[in-house]
Amino acid sequence: MLSIFLSFKTKMVDYFAFFFARCMIRRLKSEVLTQLPSKRRQMIILDPSLVSSKSKEMYLKATEIQKKSLSSEQRRAVLLQWFNLTSASKEKAVLNYVKDLLEGERKFLCFAHHQVRKNLLVTTVHVVGALFALLSSPTY
């Protein structure tokens, strides 16, 4: 019986070592807020040669928004499509900027609101070989 207990105890120690080595322990915001540096917001200038803002689709959506015959719901839908296209047009420039940050070994937080962008960022981080933590939840 003692050998079974020791075996179980060894497995539990291994489990906890694995768990604590790979997972972040969640603490309350109020507990950590005093330990964080003050928030710093910056405007990032992307490489304009990597931004493709003159696509045919973007032009068509921009002209479609100008139509007087659109209802407010239709106008909102077209505007959301246009925003998605503008996001895609900056994709290469943003990934290049993130890659530069990673190669400079700087710590940073990056927020991505679309699964496609998250996947591209994760791929970029893997290519560079940097360590990272991805906090993600599905949006409905």
Asked if pLDDT for residue 77 goes beyond 50, the answer is: yes
pLDDT band at 17 (very low <50, low <70, confident <90, very high): low
Give the number of other CB atoms < 10 A from CB of residue 61: 19
Rounded CA-CA distance 51/47 in Å is 7
Identify which of 106, 90, 139 has the alpha carbon closest to the alpha carbon of residue 125.
Answer: 106
**Which residue has tokens 């003159």?**
54
Asked if pLDDT for residue 3 goes beyond 50, the answer is: no
Distances (CA, A) of 135 to 23, 33, 113, 118: 11, 18, 12, 10
Residue 107 CA to its chain's centroid (Å): 14
User: What is the value of pTM for the model shown?
Assistant: 0.61
What's the first-to-final CA gap in the chain, in angstroms? 51
